Amino acid sequence: MEPINVDDRDLSAFLIYAARERALDESLHNSHRFAHNDEHRKSIEALRELNKRMLFRETRHGRRP
């Protein structure tokens, strides 16, 4: 089995993505302790989608023909 080579830029982008996801999880968890807020949940979902798009943009950077 060949070793997997991970580009440093891809690794950095993924680590940033993971840290943002943890922060969003914490924010959503904390909002449930005070009150169920549908607007906050929708905002978190939108931020998750943005975070995902940013990860894809960063990991595809420099790979376009």
Would residue 23 count as lying in a domain? yes
Domain that holds residue 27: 8-60
Give CA–CA dist 17/12, Å, rounded: 9
Domain for residue 3, yes or no?
no
3-state helix, strand, coil in the chain (%, to 5): 75, 0, 25
Say if 19 falls within a structural domain: yes
**62 Rama class: left (phi>0) / alpha (psi -120 to 50) / beta:** left
The mean pLDDT value for 26-51 works out to: 85
Model-level pTM? 0.76
Q: How many domains does the chain have?
A: 1
> Does the pLDDT at position 9 exceed 70?
yes
Mean pLDDT score across all residues of the chain: 87
Residue 36 maps to a domain = yes
Residue 52 counted as domain residue? yes
Task: Decide if 1 is inside a domain.
Answer: no
> What are the distances in angstroms from CA 21 to CA 12, 17, 34, 36?
14, 6, 21, 20
User: Residue 12 is encoded by which pair of tokens?
Assistant: 């950095």
